[in-house]
Structure 1
């Protein structure tokens, strides 16, 4: 296989990964709190081929002699855009929408006997009964506990009404008495580009030791006295469908060009082999 065909084949494989990212964005355009993923490409190593014994205009030349031949392109990174989406009013007491960029709810996820804290923008919360229906716990729609300042938010049963205040405070009404049932632990991602997708519309932290960061450099608590959310509303996806369609068509066209490169190279090799 020629060098040109290898370059095209490598690039086509990476373009398929970008199509997967674009397709995932489009599929989640109606998912509450979903954040657009963006695929960034980078060039692979290139090789300097010095095939000119007497290069033209050699005197005063700033670039190296010969020809630089690349090895194709690769998917450098998939970055998350945490900019806020449109706010849709629902008038449901447990629906909340974060108002600021890079702010995240914290949830507790247990998988394979391992518990970790994950982060999401999806503020569609529910109350799940625990302790033989004596208490309820604030959870996501997937049943994961929502974390407050002191861990999962557990509320004793028997209240008449529940509300989430703009500063994240959860208040319950029992007769004529209003109680503070906890405060949502909202955090801000200082380096959102380093967050990893974890499925179920959530993110996780990478291996901080490997990256040379500590937790305080990645996640910072939000001042509990500020208005950070809107109750009775949900944040919609920030996917721009027109932009995703444009990216998909450009990527498909690039894929076709690289496939055509392989086809043309094969035809040229066939013609060379037929020479007498």
Structure 2
């Protein structure tokens, strides 16, 4: 296979990955708190070919001497766009929207008997019964506990009303009396780019030692100098559908051009093989 066809085939494989990223963004355009992902391309290693017969004539040349032949392109990285989404009112007591750009709720997730803390912008919470007693726990739609300042927020059932205040306090009313059942543990991502997407609209901390960070350089408790959240509201996805459609069309065109390159290369090789001396 010729170098030209190899370059096109390698690039097509990476373009397919970008199409997957775009498709995932578009599929989550209505997912609460979803953060769009962006694919960044970079060139693969290239070969430097010196082809100047008279290097002295290249005096003042701004680019390196010779010809550089690459091996295609690859996805250099897939980064999340942490921009704030629009906040819409839902009139549902357990819906909350964080007001800080890099503020996150903490969720306790157990997978294969391993429990870890994950972070999300999705503030659509629910109440799930706790086995063995007459209590309920604040959870996500998947049943994962929402963490408060003292762990999962659990309180007795049988209340008349519930409200989540702008400072994160979960307040319940019983027979005209109010009590604070817990306070949401909201954190601020100082370096949000370090967070690792895990699926299910959540993030987690990677191996910080390998990256040369400590946890205090990445996460900290959200400042309490103002309102943390808006109750009876949700933050929408920050996916820009018009931008995603533009990226989709451009990526499809690039895929088609590279596919055409392989076809033309195959035709050229066929013509060469058919030549007669």
TM-score by length of 1: 0.96
- 2:60 is matched with 60
Within 1, Cα distance between the matches of 2:43 and 2:189? 29
Unpaired segments of 5 or more residues in structure 1?
none
- Measured in 1, the distance between the counterparts of 2:20 and 2:30 equals 17
Residue deviations 1:228-272, cap 9 Å, x none? 111001111111111000000000001111111111112222222
**Aligned residue in 2 for 1:111:** 111
- Show the counterpart of 2:252: 252
Q: 1:154-192, CA deviations, whole angstroms, 9 ceiling, x for partnerless residues? A: 112232111000111111112232111111111111121
Cα distance in 1, alignment partners of residues 65 and 36 from structure 2: 43
- 1:202-213, aligned counterparts within 5 Å? 202-213=202-213
Does the 8 Å CA contact 1:133/1:157 hold for their aligned counterparts? no
Corresponding residue number in structure 2 for 1:149: 149
Which SS does the other structure have where 2:226 is aligned? Answer: coil
Q: 5+ residue gaps in structure 2? A: none
- Cα deviation 1:122-169 (Å, max 9, x = unaligned): 100001110434111100001000001111111122321110001111
**Normalized against structure 2, the TM-score is what?**
0.95
Matched, 1:229 2:239: no
SS at match of 1:57: helix
For 1:101, what is the secondary structure of its paired residue? coil
Cα distance in 2 for partners of 1:52, 1:206 equals: 48
Q: Whole-Å Cα distance in 2 between the matches of residues 23 and 5 of structure 1?
A: 27
**For 1:206 and 1:11, how far apart are their aligned partners in 2?**
29
Q: Are the equivalent residues in 2 in contact too, given 1:87–1:235 (CA < 8 A)?
A: yes
Aligned residue pairs: how many?
276
The residue matched to 1:210 in structure 2 has which SS?
helix
In structure 2, relative to structure 1, the CA distance for the partners of 1:96 and 1:267 (3 Å cut) is same
Pairing of 1:102-141 with structure 2 (within 5 A): 102-141=102-141
Using the alignment, how far apart are the partners of 1:226 and 1:110 within structure 2?
Answer: 32
